[in-house]
Amino acid sequence: MKKTTVINSELSTVIAGMGHMDWLSVGDAGMPVPMGTKKIDLALTKQLPSFIDVLKNILSELEVQKIYLAEEIKTQNPSQLTAIKNLLPDVEIEFMPHSELKKNTAKTHAFVRTGEMTAFSNIILESGVTF
């Protein structure tokens, strides 16, 4: 049995297959997923698992060099923005309109759906390198 922290087989496979500058998106329960984008649905019920818990789990195995967030998170969900910044204090952040973030999920290796029920709890992670 796998010893590391990401034990979801689909998610582990996606992370293992990512290279430098590849994208992975993580989002709330209401984020639409474009046709053709792999959806890894972890949602069990409202708030389970939370966006932050899933993000922490992914960050335990994925090197991230840049993140993309909706501009709207600054005013509509500032506590989530603070939590994200606390997890990724030295990572560059690019903000874009939520409509653009939704379109960009089509360019990601997968979309990980959480049970999160707060607005604009969506992120695109750009993988870095460990050397």
pLDDT at 100: 98
pLDDT at 77: 98
Output the known binding site for substrate: 28, 98, 120-122
Q: Which residues of the chain have pLDDT under 50?
A: none
pLDDT at 4: 86
pTM: 0.97
pLDDT in tens, 7-38: 999 999 999 999 999 999 999 999 999 999 99
pLDDT at 39: 98
Strand runs labelled E in 13-116: 23-27, 39-41, 64-70, 92-96, 111-113
pLDDT at 79: 98
Q: Residue 104, Cβ neighbours under 10 Å: how many? A: 15
pLDDT at 89: 97
Q: Among the options 20, 74, 85, 103, which is catalytic?
A: 20
So what's the architecture of 9-127 in CATH?
3-Layer(aba) Sandwich (3.40)
Please indicate whether residue 109 is annotated as part of the active site: no
Distance CA 29, CA 26 (A): 10
pLDDT at 3: 76
pLDDT at 2: 74
pLDDT at 40: 98
